[in-house]
Amino acid sequence: RRHLTGIAHLSLPEIHHLLNLAESEIAVSRSRDKKKSALKGRTQINLFFEASTRTQASFELAGKRLGADVMNMSVANSSVKKGETLIDTAMTLNAMQPDILVVRHHAAGAVALLAQKVDCSVVNAGDGAHEHPTQALLDALTIRRRKGQIAGLTVAICGDVLHSRVARSNILLLNALGANVRVVAPSTLLPAGIENMGVTVFHRMDEGLEGADVVMMLRLQRERMEGAFVPSVREYFRHFGLDAQKLGWAKAGALVMHPGPMNRGVEIASGIADGPQSVIEEQVEMGVAVRMAVMEWLAGDGGETA
């Protein structure tokens, strides 16, 4: 049985296979019928212990477009509120014979742990500050479609890298695909040892964005910060918020990306988020295609890996 717990566990042929399969899924969502039968008869359960708009909605749509029966577990109204553990909750759902369990949890490693316990395929929809593999795949698909290829591109990942599972998965995936990956952030928002992940570190936006083909902004995750370490929004935006002047330091026509949800006026100016270089809505569309590809692959109906 296959799982997708992180980009770290994907081979390069598997990455290319998933991106190519996702490319072919785009047409399904754009067609009038929006239906395939690859997951007909299969049961998918979405189990989100943290809030989500994009990931949960797109996994639900992806499953339905593949013909699966999809159930969204409402954690807020579940026995988790009575103290049931993650594993007990998962084993209870496992006993109902799902084929795919899509899990988001606040603890890094929780999804991989769960994958060892249940009988079905498990997809990581974000675990703490660890990984968010389908976000990285949809980002890569968006870049590849816009720029033709990823190898040789310079991608600047900017902002709150410390708390970002999106950054971590993107660093792994973009490096595997041959991009030059930069991180641009104040040292307080970078994890220790980030240099060892194959990135070049910058602490100033003018230096980090110079010559970048892609500018990927991250949400300032203030809810994960404590007291004195929460930066002032005004200061943060002045130094690290993407506005027209800072975007001017990147290459002409550089792509502006953000995984969402955005804090407008904190890490990105509204005019840039909605501007001509922004591919933020395209990222959302690619999210459905990538999640269809991942689940088709997990179900074993996505063809052999390249």
- What is 77-118 written as a DSSP string? GSGGGGT--HHHHHHHHHTT--SEEEEEESSTTHHHHHHHHS
261 binds ligand CP (CB under 6 A): yes
Q: Which is nearer to ligand CP, 260 or 265 (CB)?
A: 260
Smallest CA-to-CA distance from 182 within 150, 205, 151, 148 is with 205
Number of H helices, E strands in the chain: 11, 9
Q: Which is nearer to ligand CP, 248 or 261 (CB)?
A: 261
Q: Which is nearer to ligand CP, 54 or 203 (CB)?
A: 54
Nearest-CB residue to ligand CP?
A: 55
55 binds ligand CP (CB under 6 A): yes
20 binds ligand CP (CB under 6 A): no
- What is 128-188 written as a DSSP string? TTTB-HHHHHHHHHHHHHHHS--TT-EEEEES--TT-HHHHHHHHHHHHTT-EEEEE--GG
Residue 132 CB, shortest distance to ligand CP, in Å, is 6
Cis omega (within 30 of 0) on the bond before 261?
yes
Q: Which amino acid is at 210?
A: E
Q: Considering only 46-54, 191-199, 203-211, 266-274, which stretch makes contact with ligand CP by CB under 6 A?
A: 46-54
CA distance 37 to 17: 20
Q: Is 132 annotated among the ligand-binding residues? A: yes
**What separation in angstroms does the CA of 107 have from each of 58, 131, 260?**
22, 11, 20
221 binds ligand CP (CB under 6 A): no
54 binds ligand CP (CB under 6 A): yes
- Identify residues 87-126 at the interface with ligand CP (CB under 6 A): 126
Q: Which is nearer to ligand CP, 55 or 89 (CB)?
A: 55
Q: Which amino acid is at 185?
A: A
Chosen residue from 44, 135, 142, 263 binding ligand CP by CB under 6 A = 135
Q: Is 261 annotated among the ligand-binding residues? A: yes
Residues 65 and 95: beta-carbon distance below 8 Å: no
53 binds ligand CP (CB under 6 A): yes
72 binds ligand CP (CB under 6 A): no
Q: Is 3 annotated among the ligand-binding residues? A: no
Which pair of tokens denotes residue 242?
A: 């993407």
Q: Which residues are annotated as a binding site?
A: 54-55, 82, 104, 132, 135, 165, 219, 260-261
- Note the residues at the interface with ligand CP (CB under 6 A): 52-55, 126, 135, 259-261
